[in-house]
Amino acid sequence: MLFRYIQWHVKPRGLSFVLYTGRIMKTRTTLLIYTHPLLYQVVNVQNLLKLRHIATTIHNEFSAGGTGDLSANETWAELWLEDERDAPLAKSIIDEMNAASAEEWFCSQCGEKNGGAFEFCWQCEQPR
């Protein structure tokens, strides 16, 4: 589908845009949901949300080279929701990810201590 006109509006909570496609008009407001200094971490969160069919876009994807000339946190990769109605579900998914990566666990087979990010024991490869 070809969009004939895109109008951008800056709002305090994000970027709102109106898409005019003949008779159909859609309005969405984007919302910043996650930011991190490492791009791969933001892409990881984007993939988790994509598995739940939550549409997102990454901003500042290539801005790391500006660190030093710009404030460090201005160059961090940002993950924006395309529809702010997905915010409660997205926040719960991110909270689950943060909680799972924080708690350490001990292997039931060899007793080795493993970080929360590991789903398998790093020593004997026993599943969590």
* DSSP helix/strand/coil, 112: coil
- Give domain limits for the chain: 5-102
45 or 19, which is more confident? 45
Mode of pairing for the β-strands spanning 77-81 and 31-36: antiparallel
> Which residue carries 């990769």 as its tokens?
77
Residue 28: which pLDDT band, with cuts at 50, 70 and 90? low
Burial class (CB in 10 A: 0-12, 13-18, 19+), 19: middle
Largest CA distance in the chain: 65
- Cβ contacts of residue 68 below 8 Å, gap of 6+? none
Residue 19: which pLDDT band, with cuts at 50, 70 and 90? very low
> pTM of the full predicted structure?
0.61
116 or 94, which is more confident? 94
Average pLDDT over residues 37-60: 92
Q: Name the token pair of 32.
A: 């910043």
24 or 76, which is more confident? 76
Q: Is the pLDDT of residue 128 over 70?
A: yes
CB atoms within 10 A of CB 25: 10
